[in-house]
Amino acid sequence: MSDPCIICVAITGSLPTKENNQAVPITIAEQIESTHEAFEAGATIAHCHVRDDEGKPTSDPERFARLKEGLEKHCKGMIVQLSTGGRSGAGQARGGMLPLAPDMASLSVGSNNFPTRVYENPPDLVDWLASEMLKYNVKPEIEAFDLSHIVQATRMAKDGRLKGPLYVQFVMGVKNAMPADERIFDFYIETLKRLAPDAQWCAAGIGPNQILINEWSIAKGGHTRTGFEDNVRLDRDHLAPSNAALVKRAVEICQKHNRPVASWQQARSILGIPLRTA
Ligand SMILES: [Zn+2]
């Protein structure tokens, strides 16, 4: 029997709007409902951004608190991962929700280009975010947009700035950053295994690369991410009706490759995140 595959659902992100797809959850109530459906379909990590009243990305800790509380109540056992990404805020505001002590938070450890700008992650901010995650016992998910980010994460784990074992997300298909290239993907896996043998990895593809990266990550023994943040379509001609529909597609790929889909208990055990009881 092969290892269980953890499916992460990135429910909202910073960019998708109702104009792109009516089913993208924007309000907290919509986010909780959409996550619940995705959880029932097999997702066990919810990667979360929040939006303000106009639907624009924000790092507002109060909104994150309401979302986290709703998810913990309605999706019991699911791992809640809050984004510290740079599209929602600037500087230390990006980590203002970490005192909420979510199960996980995303962490970028280096800079790169995005479609229309530089994604800035200066060393002092990265170190501060990492130290806050240590302080509040939040497991980081390292967002690797580039090979150097994988190497940097292993350095930070070695010198104690990050608590291991590492959980690294390979992100491919962002315009002006790393494309979905299978030989580079294989080299990512090889490099992570060489530098951090106890690490676990996941992968996400943007737009039409989502299904491709789901296939590669599931076939090659990793975990996988889907959801509206990365892609709003089932295929070129059809919008995805829900986050759950994208999760179901990932579940089918797991079945094809004989990978059991991780239950929330298995996901927590694989990542070393006990269920916190309030
Ligand atoms: Zn995100």
- Residue 277 clears pLDDT 80, i.e. is over it: no
Give CA–CA dist 7/277, Å, rounded: 23
Q: What average pLDDT does this structure show over 70-75?
A: 98
Distance 47 CA to ligand 1 centre (A): 6
Distance 22 CA to ligand 1 centre (A): 19
CATH code, 168: 3.20.20.70
Q: What's phi and psi for 235, nearest 5 deg?
A: -155, -170
- Token look-up 């659902």 returns 9
| Residue 5: inside a domain | no
**pLDDT for residue 250:** 98
Distance 265 CA to ligand 1 centre (A): 23
Residue 16 is part of which domain span?
Answer: 12-271
| Residue 165: inside a domain | yes
Q: What average pLDDT does this structure show over 56-65?
A: 96
Q: What average pLDDT does this structure show over 100-104?
A: 98
Distance 82 CA to ligand 1 centre (A): 8
- Reported for 116-119, long-range contacts at CB under 8 A and 24+ positions apart, including other chains, are 119/86, 119/145, 119/177
**pLDDT for residue 267:** 98
Q: What average pLDDT does this structure show over 114-120?
A: 95
Distance 230 CA to ligand 1 centre (A): 8
Report residue 70 CA to chain centroid gap: 19
| Residue 253: inside a domain | yes
| Residue 101: inside a domain | yes
**How many helices (H) and strands (E) are present in the chain, helices listed first?**
8, 14
Check: CB of residue 71 under 8 Å from CB of residue 46: yes
Distance 10 CA to ligand 1 centre (A): 7
- Token look-up 């019991």 returns 76
Distance 269 CA to ligand 1 centre (A): 23
Q: What average pLDDT does this structure show over 2-10?
A: 96
Q: What average pLDDT does this structure show over 127-138?
A: 98
| Residue 159: inside a domain | yes
Distance 1 CA to ligand 1 centre (A): 32
pLDDT tens by residue, 225-269: 999 999 999 999 999 999 999 999 999 999 999 999 999 999 999
**pLDDT for residue 89:** 78
Q: What average pLDDT does this structure show over 166-180?
A: 98
Structure tokens at 80: 């809640």
| Residue 4: inside a domain | no
Q: How many domains does the chain have?
A: 1
| Residue 7: inside a domain | no
Give the confidence band of 278 by pLDDT, cuts at 50, 70, 90. low
- Residue 209 clears pLDDT 70, i.e. is over it: yes
Check: CB of residue 8 under 8 Å from CB of residue 47: yes
Distance 194 CA to ligand 1 centre (A): 27
Q: For a pLDDT cut of 70, what percent of the chain falls above it?
A: 99
**pLDDT for residue 233:** 98
Residues 6+ apart with CB under 8 A from 244: 34, 37, 38, 40, 41
Mean pLDDT of the chain: 97
Helix (H) or strand (E) holding 81, with range, is strand 79-82
Q: CB-based burial of residue 249 (10 Å sphere; 0-12 exposed, 13-18 middle, 19+ buried)?
A: middle
Of 1-10, 14-23, 56-65, 242-251, which range is least confident?
A: 1-10
Helix (H) or strand (E) holding 7, with range, is strand 7-10
**pLDDT for residue 276:** 81
Amino acid at 102: P
Distance 189 CA to ligand 1 centre (A): 21
CA atoms within 13 A on the CB side of 258: 2
Give the confidence band of 88 by pLDDT, cuts at 50, 70, 90. confident
| 205 closest CA partner among 178, 167, 166 | 178
Distance 32 CA to ligand 1 centre (A): 16
| Residue 135: inside a domain | yes
Burial 71-97 (b: 16+ CB within 10 A, else e): bbeebeebbbbbbbbbbbbeeeebbbb
Distance 249 CA to ligand 1 centre (A): 20
Q: What average pLDDT does this structure show over 123-141?
A: 98
